[in-house]
Structure 1
Amino acid sequence: MATNSKFIGYIDEALEKSREAALSHLLFTYRGIPYPVTMCTSETFQALDTFEARSDDIVLASYPKCGSNWILHIISELIFADSKKKYEYPEFPVLECGDPEKYQRMNQFPSPRILATHLHYDKLPRSIFKNKAKILVIFRNPKDTAVSFFHFHNDVPDIPSYGSWDEFFGQFMKGQVSWGSYFDFAINWNKRLDDENVKFILYEDLKEDLAAGIKQIAEFFGFSPSGEQIQTISAQSTFQAMRAKSQETHGAVGPFLFRKGEVGDWKKLFNETQNQEMDDKFKECLAGTALGTKLKYDSYCQA
């Protein structure tokens, strides 16, 4: 991903607001879901309802800490391979973050526009479906997602910290964290995984075979990179490569966005009771569903 002053400027502004926010005042609720006051507003959500999507918009949906920055980088590299133009983010790429006038400005942007989002399927603007924009949905196993989310909160100097992992885990399981419950997000997207314009990709599969994942993403969005270009993008998109450039691409928050990227890091923090609680929640919400199978829970979430 090219260095982007808009991206870095927005993050710096959000961190500045975070410095003044107490943890108990970090969230506000809009249509039943908590969002961070430092990045979202009710006015922006109201304006988002009227956002006009295009059929060639590239929509990337994920719960927080499931690899969205990784996928954003891969997509911008695919655009570069296709057009030889570096993709610049004229706005912060998370659709629901920013000021209400953002969507008017976005009308002027050239195609393809990259729209990342952490919203549930049914909270997206209707025009995305009406105009048949393609949506790539990225999922990561819930235990590693929770641990990554906790470290992000507690490692970034200006974001309000939790007193302990146990405190964060309790809030995560109740859905009282930014963008709400992982499981509600998953249940909502599970209903739409078979839609013609929706493609599912698993974080852990990308870790295992990045080149194969990049090829699938390219095919879904209609890019035609050569085998050599796929290998080049793959080499530039490893976790290590992205971490090494993270300060340049994402500013002060970069090293925290690309902390470890490991599969199985949850084993260092989860205790037996928490393991059982998460396993029970997974069974209750996703056992027997298409998404439940795709997440390979038994492979990645059993001690």
Structure 2
Amino acid sequence: MEKSRKKYTDLVDKAIADANSMHPDELLFTYKGIFYPATVCSPETFIALESFEGRSDDIILAGYPKSGTNWVSQILNDLIAISKKKTPGAESSVNDEELEEFPYLEFGDPEKYERMTRLPSPRFMVTHLCPENLPKSIFKSKAKILLLIRNPKDVATSFYHFCNGLPALPSYETWDDFFIAFMTKKMAWGCYFEYLSKWNKYADEENVMPITYEELKEDPVLGVKNIAAFFGVSLTEEQLQLVVERSSFQSMKKNSQKTHGTFGNILFRKGSIND
């Protein structure tokens, strides 16, 4: 993930530019009762997503915003590279860049899913969506899903600073204003507690692996080992250490301008527990 990702940074840069010319009331829209950011999502995209065809070998990361999905995406991208016998962080070929898609499933244009049919397996996808808003084919295919969970207090704190730093989301003058929105489902992607409750129904499924931000932070070596085993990726000791080192907060923050463009300054704040 160290390599430059043009389509990723282009979409984020456009979203920020569009948001700067929008009224705060225009930044969010509702779809099936949940708010989403209008600069990266759309009702048309959600309608197109319903007919998306999942594959049994898709690799899916599910987590509410600010649960650590960018961090764990780094780990999973490196594990996929190793499974394909590639060196993590190596430059992509021109062909790889042409096939690249923004990894968050619900972000982008409605034609995205047709393009994704041409992506080679395994496809890697991230989502902030509740399970009932994902395509039914994902669950029918029994694709493996890594379910990322984080302490709600840290999620709320991180989301508060994120909203106030990213023009694509409404900002809040005070923590109290934010907290009211956070607890009353007036946030992008809805209520975190409802999100956890809905995903909890799938936690015991054979193809779903719950993991907490805290346990991965406390013992990243064991965490990466367990994630690799769940997705069937064999690691040498050297490869294990490389994945752990490349996914450290310090390493990701250092490379954030290359991997995430101007968004990197907003995205990587502290990456800590009990903030």
Q: Please classify the TM superposition score into its range, dividing by the shorter chain length.
A: over 0.9
Q: 2:119 maps to which residue?
A: 109
Tell me the alpha carbon deviations over residues 49-92 of structure 1, each in whole angstroms, 9 at most, x when there is no partner.
10011111001000000011111111111122222335767111
Q: In the TM superposition, what is the alpha-carbon distance from 1:255 to its structure 2 partner?
A: 2.2
Report the residue type matching 1:146 in the other structure.
A
Aligned to 1:173: 183
Matched pairs, number? 265
The residue that corresponds to 2:212 in the other structure is 202
Return the TM-score normalized by structure 1: 0.84
Moved over 3 A (4+): 84-89, 156-160
Describe the shift of the 1:232–1:98 C-alpha distance in structure 2 as closer, same or farther (beyond 3 A). same
The structural deviation recorded for 1:160 is 4.0
Give the conservation status (yes or no) of the 8 Å contact 1:162–1:168.
yes
> C-alpha distance in 1, partners of 2:171/2:18?
14
Aligned residue number for residue 51 of structure 1:
52
Is the alpha carbon distance of 1:159 and 1:123 closer, same or farther for their aligned partners in structure 2, counting shifts above 3 Å? closer
Quick check: 2:37–2:169 contact (8 Å CA) kept in 1? no
Structure 2 vs 1, CA of residues 205 and 19 (structure 1 numbering), >3 Å: closer, same or farther?
A: same
Summarize deviations over 1:10-42 as a string: whole Å, max 9, x none.
111111122123333221111111111111111
Structure-2-length-normalised TM-score: 0.93
Q: Distance between the aligned counterparts of 2:169 and 2:207, measured in 1?
A: 36
Is 1:93 the counterpart of 2:103? The answer is yes
Q: State how 1:51-200 maps to structure 2 within 5 Å.
A: 51-85=52-86, 86=90, 90-156=100-166, 159-200=169-210
Unaligned runs of 5+ in 2: none
Aligned-partner SS, 1:193: coil
Q: Percent identity?
A: 52
| Structure 1: distance between partners of 2:186 and 2:104 | 20
Separation in 1, partners of 2:181, 2:21: 21
Question: Which amino acid is the alignment partner of residue 120 of structure 1?
Answer: C
**What is the CA–CA distance in structure 2 between the aligned matches of 1:45 and 1:157, rounded to whole Å?**
22
Higher relative contact order (CA 8 A, sep 6+): 2
CA-CA distance at 1:158 after TM superposition: 6.3
How well do the aligned residues superpose, as a CA RMSD in angstroms?
A: 1.4
